[in-house]
Structure formats: C-alpha cells, structure tokens
Structure 1
Amino acid sequence: MGSLTTPRPRLSGEPLGIALRIGSTLAFAAMTACIKALGDAVPLGQVVFFRSAVALLPLVLFLWWTGDFPRGLATRRPFGHIARCLMGAAAMFTSFATLRYLPLAEATLLSYLAPVVLALLGWGMLGERLGPRRLGGVGLGLAGAAAFCLPAFSGGLPPGAALGGTLGLATAMLTAGALLQVRRLTLAGEKAGAIAFWFAVVSAAAGLATVPAGWVWPHPAEFALLLGAGLAGGVAHILMTLSFRHAEAAALAPYEYLSILWAAVAGMLFFAERPGTAFLIAGPLILGGAMIATPAGRKPTVVTRDRAQGL
C-alpha cells in the first residue's frame, strides 16, 4: 500500500534543468520547421514580424510572472540595445533566408559557427584569453566551414547551396556580433528580460517595415505556421531561461547540440531531406569547434536561441 500512497518524486535541480534545456531545443526545432515549411510563400519580412511579434506574448507573460514586467524593461544603455537589436534582427533575416536554400539540418549546423566567431571577437574586442584550447576550437570550426562551403561554391552541391552557405556564414557572424553586445550589456548590469524584450520589439518593427515591399494574405495553413513559429520561439526562450535557474551551464551545454539531431529528424520526416556528404564531414568539425571554443564553466547569457536569431 505504501507504494500507492507515496507521491512520485518530482524532477528538481539539475535533472529539471536538463529536461527544460532539452525542451527548449525541441521548441526551437519546431520553430525552424514551421519557417522551413512556409518556404517562399510568405515574404521574409512578414515571417520575421510574426516570429517576433507573436513571441512577445509568452515572453511578456513570463516576465510578468517573474516580476520583471514592466519595471525590468528599464535600461541605462539604450544605444547598446540598439546595436544588439540591429545585429540580431539582421541575423534573423539571414537565418530565415538560409532555410529557403539549405536543408533544415545544414542551416542549423552553420549557426553553430557563431561560438567560433564569438571566441575571436571576444579576444579582439574584449581582451578575453584565447589559449591553445580555444584556438584549436576555432581551427576546427573554420575547417568545418570550409568542408561544407567549398563544395557548394565549386558547384558540387545542389543549386542554391552556395547562396545558402553564404547566408549561413553571414548569420553566424551577425549572431556572434549580437552575442558579443549581449555580453557587454550583461556586464553593464542590464537584465536578460530587457535584452530579450527589446530585441523582439525591434525585430518585429524591422519586419513590419517591409510592408511596402509586399506582404501577402496568408492561407489558414500558412497563418498557423506563422503563429506556430512565433509561439515556439517564445516558449524556447522561456524554457532555456528556466533551465539555467536549475542547473549549471556546464551541465546544460552538451544538450544544446541536440538541436542538430532534431533538425535532421524533422528534415527527414517532413521535408524528405537526407544529410549529404558535406554535412557528415563538416558536422563533427563545426560541433567540435563550437564545444571547444565555448569557455568551460561559463554561464551563457540567457537570450533567445535564434542566437540573436532568437534564442
């Protein structure tokens, strides 16, 4: 009888943090799958607007629940937020465009070059130490980028792969710049909630500014995908934020890379995509470089993983 009356133990501490982190990678994969499914049926700026504006709904509710809305949105670094938001919004545009030219897993993979670029920017602009270990990570990441992009630029991959690779590289560089600015804002005492909120607002405004270029009236299925992308992106951010409250960054870091697995599975199930040779060669190099280039034990700044694309 005792086993029937004893309540089941609930997840807490590190196991809960890991579960939340895995959930955030799944939500992020759902967001990118929704955007991939839209294809070019909806203009890019319109997709960016819905992704950002709809994500504000769960984000504002979460900030209100944690007591950071609206007082937590005040800032003493408005120009720092502007720089972060502009780079992050540009990264969102290039990231979503990449999904139109590359398979889901490959587009996701290229985003993992951001930690490699960030290591170089941190060394050059913040004076962070770039020892042999991190230099090795940078070298691996760059080798992976070459292994993926050279076949595309030489015509060894399907049409559009070269443009997709270029956009993916641009996304990684813009994301790294945005994350560097996030680090600066955090060191200056800015709250994570304010950083995420103003990024979503500015990105929505950037998407809205493309109305004169032509928007379309989405069909019900397209509208559902637009809403799904926004909600999934907002939920991904919230789950990631909560995960860092229950577990150390070092314990959570390995689960970040599950995004590649989910993207590959979604690509095969929903888009009949199969990982190519370039992906299989470049993948271990880029992921290995990202893991090594990221300083061990440092708690990452909690931002949307669109990586300044969003989470």
Structure 2
Amino acid sequence: MSTPRQMPVAHISASAQGKTLWIEQDDTEPLKTLHCPGRTAMSAPLPQVTSLPFLPNEALGITLRILSTLAFALMSVCIKALGDVVPLGQVVFFRSAIALFPLAAYLWWRGDWPGGLRTSRPLGHIGRCLMGAAAMFTSFATIRLLPLAEATMLSYLAPVMLAVLAWALLGERLTARRIAGVALGLAGAAAFCLPAFAGALPDAGGLGVFLGLVTAMLTAGALIQVRRLTLLGEGAGAIAFWFAVVSALCGLTTLPFGWAWPGVAGMMLLVATGLAGGLAHILMTLSFRHADASALAPFEYLSVLWAVALGFAFFAEVPGLAFLVAGPLVLMGAIITRTPRAR
C-alpha cells in the first residue's frame, strides 16, 4: 500500500464559511482536493512545522483539527451576530484584512516571509481570488439568511460539485464511488431545496438556500483554480496570502456604497471574525502536520454539530425537518465523494 503524500496548498474558507482545502496524492489515483466548509475555499494548509513533544502526533493533530472546526464555527457566529447592521462588503474586508496578521506572523515564523509570497502566475491568482472572494460574499449572506446548521450543511455540496467539475474540466475519472457520492449529495440538495423554493421556509429562506447553492458552486470553482496553481508549482503561502489581500480589496470597493459604524461591540465582532478565521486556518494547517488526512477527515464533520449547538445557544435555532432529512444525505455524499478508496 502506498503512503499518501500530502502537498500543502492554499484558502480559505470557506468558508466564509469561510470552508479550506488540501491536496492528497498517491501513486495510483489523480489528485483529490479536500475542502473544509464555511470557508469557501478561502484557505488551505500552509507550510508545516515540526511535531510538538507533549502529545502523541495523532492525538495532537486531532485536537488541533477539532479546535479549527470550532474556530470556524465561532467565526460564523460572529458574522451572524452582526446581523444586517454591517454591510457584507465591510464584513468581508475585516474578515480578510484582520486574518492577514496571524497569517503573516505564521509565515514569518516558518521563514517564508516574504520569499514565500512570490508568484509567477499572477493572472491565475487573480482568477482564483476573485472567485473565492465572490464565494465569501455569498457565504456570509447565506449565514445571515439561514440558520447556522443549514448554511453549514449546504457548504458540504462543494466537494460534490467539485467531483463533477474535475471530471468536466480536468478530465479526472468519475468513478462509481464518486458517482454515488454525487447522487447522494444531489438527493440531499433536492430534499432541502424543494421545500425552500416552494415557500416552506420562513422569511428569506429561499434566497438563503439559493445563495448557499451559489456558494458551493463558486467554492468548487475556486478549488479547481487552487489545484491548477498548485500543480504549476505555486506555494501555499502565496495562494493564501494573495487571496486574503484580494478579498480585502474586494470588500473595500464597497466603501462608496456606505459602511456602518457598528459600535464598540460590533467592532469587536468584526475583529473577532478575522482573528477566528485566521486562527482556524493555522490550527487546521498544524493538524495536518501531526496526523494523516484519513485520521482527521471524520472530525471535519464536527462543524455541523458545532453549528447546531452554537445556533441553538446563541440564536435559539432548532433544525427543521428539511435539515434532518437532507443533512445526512449531503454529508454522506461529501464523505463518499472525497474519501479515497481503501487499498
């Protein structure tokens, strides 16, 4: 059995949700890109560090991965708590600009500052960054319009769509396993979206579901661009850093349309959004240094549980029947689509 070689690439995330990614390669299968929800392909693991001595490697990696999912979930809580008082562009700016500080500190600590920011593919970065920034806008809007659990669940459609795009654009094999994953994901999407579009969801639920689907498509497209940049030799630091810069600039372009002073509490939430996103990215990166992707993969799905728990605790949100029916289908589709075959 060949041992997978992990190649760091770069986000974020999503996701918005702010959902991240990494690339795994082995000797028999084409490249596979994995994604972390709520981050919208906003970032991906950065250069790795040596292991810490006080915990076994795998236990430390799993702990860091769990903490990263919690940090991403808390970022979503901050975004939702801001409500409609702060324009989306302003939130995107602070999410991206503030995250540059922990990101730059991490790169400096790794010795990749500023050399790791060089790129020979500026146009490729621009395309990837613009698509990722658009995903961040739609992802944050989805978080505002839908309960946290439902917004998080929809983000897991990104790997399902990625499998189809990789087949259509990159010529990757669409195996029986991936076809089954795509079918489950689409079935879950239909189970959740049809009631929404029929008016079964309150208020702007239908618009939120539509934007969630758009976010998943944009995220999948951004992941394709990240994959291409990585295969062309672009470094993880450059991909992550320039994405944050371009996203901040995209948010800044909305300033003429009016930003708001949200008060001291609102400013604290804006800063916390960026710090939580940046910290989540670094924690996720470190987790892949200490444990294999296969060991960490199950813990990625804790993000849905965090979303359910935090949505109930902070916003009194209770998942509805559509979520309970669609959630398992979408999650199973994501798991099957992105999990390598046992060998």
Shared fold (TM-score, shorter chain, > 0.5)? yes
Whether contact under 8 Å (1:55, 1:233) holds in the other structure is: yes
Shift of 1:80: 1.0
**Residues of 2 paired with 1:264 and 1:182: CA distance?**
30
Whether contact under 8 Å (1:49, 1:207) holds in the other structure is: yes
**Residues of 1 paired with 2:294 and 2:230: CA distance?**
19
> In the alignment, which of 207, 215, 223 is matched to residue 163 of structure 1?
207
> In the alignment, which of 293, 317, 321 is matched to residue 277 of structure 1?
321
> In the alignment, which of 264, 285, 290 is matched to residue 220 of structure 1?
264
Query: Within the alignment, does 1:118 sit opposite 2:118 as a pair?
Result: no
Whether contact under 8 Å (1:50, 1:227) holds in the other structure is: yes
- Radius of gyration: which is bigger? 1
User: Which residue matches 2:55?
Assistant: 11
Q: What count of residue pairs does the alignment treat as equivalent?
A: 290
> In the alignment, which of 237, 258, 268 is matched to residue 302 of structure 2?
258
Shift of 1:42: 0.3
User: Which residue matches 1:182?
Assistant: 226
TM-score (norm 1): 0.92
Q: Which amino acid aligns with 1:183?
A: R
User: Which residue matches 1:304?
Assistant: none
SS at match of 1:28: helix
Q: Which amino acid aligns with 2:216?
A: A
User: Which residue matches 1:27?
Assistant: 71
Whether contact under 8 Å (1:46, 1:215) holds in the other structure is: yes
Matches within 5 A, 1:1-311: 10-296=54-340
User: Which residue matches 1:301?
Assistant: none
Whether contact under 8 Å (1:250, 1:297) holds in the other structure is: no
**Residues of 1 paired with 2:172 and 2:197: CA distance?**
33
Q: Which amino acid aligns with 1:26?
A: L
**Residues of 2 paired with 1:292 and 1:107: CA distance?**
20
Per-residue Cα deviation, 1:124-151 (whole angstroms, up to 9, x for no partner) = 1111111111000000000111111100
**Residues of 1 paired with 2:325 and 2:261: CA distance?**
41
Q: Which amino acid aligns with 2:276?
A: A
**Residues of 1 paired with 2:294 and 2:164: CA distance?**
21
Per-residue Cα deviation, 1:168-211 (whole angstroms, up to 9, x for no partner) = 00000000000111111111111111111000000000000000
**Residues of 2 paired with 1:194 and 1:254: CA distance?**
28
Cα 1:127–1:295 change in 2 (3 A) is farther
Point out the more displaced range, 188-197 or 279-288. Answer: 188-197
**Residues of 1 paired with 2:307 and 2:341: CA distance?**
26
Q: Which amino acid aligns with 1:288?
A: M
SS at match of 2:174: coil
Q: Provide the identity percentage.
A: 71
Shift of 1:156: 1.2
- Runs of 4+ aligned residues of structure 1 deviating over 6 Å after TM superposition are none
Shift of 1:247: 1.2
Whether contact under 8 Å (1:28, 1:236) holds in the other structure is: yes
Structure 2: stretches of 5+ with no match in the other structure: 1-52
Whether contact under 8 Å (1:116, 1:141) holds in the other structure is: yes
Point out the more displaced range, 264-273 or 180-189. Answer: 180-189
Q: Which amino acid aligns with 2:264?
A: P
User: Which residue matches 1:6?
Assistant: none
Q: Which amino acid aligns with 1:217?
A: W
Question: What CA RMSD, in Å, does the superposition of the two structures yield over aligned residues?
Answer: 1.2
Shift of 1:297: 7.4
Structure 1: stretches of 5+ with no match in the other structure: 1-8, 299-311
TM-score (norm 2): 0.83
Query: Which is bigger in relative contact order (C-alpha 8 A, separation at least 6)?
Result: 1
Shift of 1:249: 1.1
Whether contact under 8 Å (1:14, 1:246) holds in the other structure is: yes
Shift of 1:12: 3.0
User: Which residue matches 1:302?
Assistant: none
